[in-house]
């Protein structure tokens, strides 16, 4: 009889700690554009009532320069965010730390992104959306004394076989490109997996999967953002497929991937 896995997802029916949706832009957002986004706060104030300024750093001509930014958030009593919208530099990013299911979370994020990017296009008409980015972080825990990583991971091309021999604590990072139907390398993956001490007698394994898809035709003012939404759905499917290829069947069943 196969031994039952000691690994548990961080939540009852899924393992997602956080998910981040980003639109990468063709130009640095100007101070007047950030001001316009601040003035549009009423469009998403009910969802993200808190507002704060936040400078960011961007690379321009090989140098890091400071750029204005703004953060809108719904925060917990300890001031950590459940949801946050960050606008600044060359990105518009929605982060969710209260994940339920993709359909519900992406629908909310898409709605806010549409409102924010519409404001940006009006304030800075020459700007374009160059790429869509998705980062999903999953987490599993296990008693350290009983840990067996073969109860969590199957052997695959994404993980070094070395991790199964290195004890409880380790780090594995890899990246690759997938070509689109035209053969262009538009789809970047970065997979970062870490096993660390957690809660005294446990260990926690985090799986952070970052993806960036470069749009074949940049989205400009006046165009629908549905093209970016289609790409985000593609990245979501790729994330699920990666987890199916990386995790053992018992775990994928437990988190609803089967």
DSSP 143-169: EGGG--GGGTB---TTS-GGGGGS-S-
Phi, psi for residue 6 in degrees, rounded to 5? -85, -5
Quote the pLDDT of residue 200. Answer: 81
Max mean pLDDT among 56-65, 208-217, 220-229 falls in 208-217
Quote the pLDDT of residue 1. Answer: 39
Quote the pLDDT of residue 64. Answer: 83
- Specify the 3-state DSSP secondary structure of 85: strand
- Give the other-Cβ count within 10 Å of 146's Cβ: 12
Task: Give Cα 156 to chain centroid, integer Å.
Answer: 23
Task: Give Cα 230 to chain centroid, integer Å.
Answer: 16
Please determine, for residue 153, whether its predicted confidence score (pLDDT) is greater than 50.
Answer: yes
**Calpha distance 103→19 (Å, rounded):** 13
The 8-class DSSP code of residue 124 comes to S
Average pLDDT over residues 48-53: 95
- For the chain, give the mean pLDDT: 92
Quote the pLDDT of residue 133. Answer: 98
Q: What is the pLDDT of residues 171-214, one digit of tens each?
A: 999 999 998 878 888 999 999 999 999 888 899 999 999 999 99
> What percentage of the chain has pLDDT greater than the value 70?
99
Sign of CA dihedral 134, 84, 110, 10: positive
* Residue ranges covered by each domain of the chain: 1-18+136-258, 27-127
Q: Do residues 210 and 135 touch, judged by C-beta distance below 8 A? A: yes
Name the residue among 248, 250, 252 with its Cα closest to residue 150.
248
State which H helix or E strand residue 11 sits in: none
Q: What is the pTM of this model?
A: 0.94
CA atoms within 13 A on the CB side of 218: 12
Please determine, for residue 56, whether its predicted confidence score (pLDDT) is greater than 60.
Answer: yes
Quote the pLDDT of residue 162. Answer: 84
**Calpha distance 244→258 (Å, rounded):** 8
- Produce one character per residue of 223-234: b if its CB has 16 or more CB atoms within 10 Å, e if not: eebebbbebbeb
Structure-model confidence comparison of residues 56 and 119, the more confident one: 119
DSSP H helices in the chain: 31-39, 102-123, 226-246, 249-254
Q: What is the pLDDT of residues 80-130, one digit of tens each?
A: 899 999 999 999 999 999 999 999 999 999 999 999 999 999 999 999 999
Structure-model confidence comparison of residues 25 and 78, the more confident one: 25
């Amino acid at each position: 009889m196969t031994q039952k896995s000691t690994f548990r997802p961080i939540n009852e029916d899924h393992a997602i700690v956080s998910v981040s949706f980003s639109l990468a832009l063709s130009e640095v957002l100007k101070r007047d554009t950030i001001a316009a986004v601040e003035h549009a706060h009423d469009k998403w104030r009910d969802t993200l009532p808190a507002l704060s300024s936040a400078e960011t750093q961007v690379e321009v001509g090989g140098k890091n320069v400071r750029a204005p930014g703004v953060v809108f958030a719904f925060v917990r009593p300890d001031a950590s965010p459940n949801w946050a919208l960050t606008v600044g530099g060359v990105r518009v990013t929605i982060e969710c730390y209260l994940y339920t299911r993709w359909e519900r979370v992406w629908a909310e994020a898409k709605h806010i992104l549409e409102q924010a990017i519409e404001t940006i296009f009006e304030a800075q008409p020459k700007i374009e959306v160059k790429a869509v980015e998705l980062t999903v972080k999953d987490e599993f825990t296990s008693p350290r004394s009983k840990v067996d990583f073969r109860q969590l991971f199957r052997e695959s091309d994404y993980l070094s076989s070395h991790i199964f021999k290195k004890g409880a604590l380790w780090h594995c990072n890899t990246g690759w490109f997938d070509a689109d139907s035209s053969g262009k390398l538009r789809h970047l993956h970065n997979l970062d997996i870490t096993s660390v001490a957690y809660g005294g007698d446990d260990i926690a394994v985090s799986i952070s999967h970052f993806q960036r898809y470069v749009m074949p035709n940049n989205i400009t003012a006046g165009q629908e953002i549905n093209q970016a939404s289609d790409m985000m759905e593609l990245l979501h499917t790729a994330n699920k497929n990666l987890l199916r290829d990386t995790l053992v069947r018992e775990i994928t069943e437990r988190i609803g991937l089967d």
